[in-house]
């Protein structure tokens, strides 16, 4: 099993959205860039990787991974497509029989 790192998440997210990795880390507010970036940072953050390490790989500020997680969780509550994308990316980050990542219990969506 390989170790889950922000670099792994960046690679998988870029492949999933079929865009170059440098587009994911591009400092731009267009949705075609922000959604993959938020997706990658969010998955890293929910797996308790250090925010500074995540920020370094995604070329952003240390506070952004937490913000990205909050934004994505909110979006997943209202957009089933985003929720399905997140789940598919989580599956891609699995290695064989053991999961590389596991959702943080606080990320489970509620009906409230």
Domain ranges of the chain: 6-95
Residue-wise pLDDT tens digits, 43-56:
999 988 999 999 99
Distances (CA, A) of 24 to 3, 28, 36, 44, 76: 21, 9, 6, 14, 19
CATH architecture of 6-95: Orthogonal Bundle (1.10)
Residue-wise pLDDT tens digits, 57-102:
999 999 999 999 999 999 999 999 999 999 999 988 876 334 444 4
How much is the average pLDDT of 37-41?
Answer: 96
Q: Alpha-carbon distance 110 to 17, whole Å?
A: 27
pLDDT for residue 109 is more than 80: no
């Amino acid at each position: 099993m390989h170790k889950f790192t922000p670099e792994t998440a960046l690679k998988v997210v870029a492949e999933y959205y079929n865009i170059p990795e440098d587009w994911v880390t591009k400092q731009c507010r267009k949705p075609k860039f922000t959604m993959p970036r938020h997706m990658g940072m969010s998955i890293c953050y929910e797996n308790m990787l250090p925010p500074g390490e995540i920020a370094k790989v995604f070329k952003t500020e240390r506070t952004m991974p937490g913000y990205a997680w909050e934004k994505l969780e909110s979006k997943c509550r209202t957009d089933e497509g985003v929720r399905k994308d997140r789940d598919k990316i989580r599956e891609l980050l699995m290695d064989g029989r053991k999961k590389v990542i596991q959702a943080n219990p606080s990320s489970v969506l509620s009906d409230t």
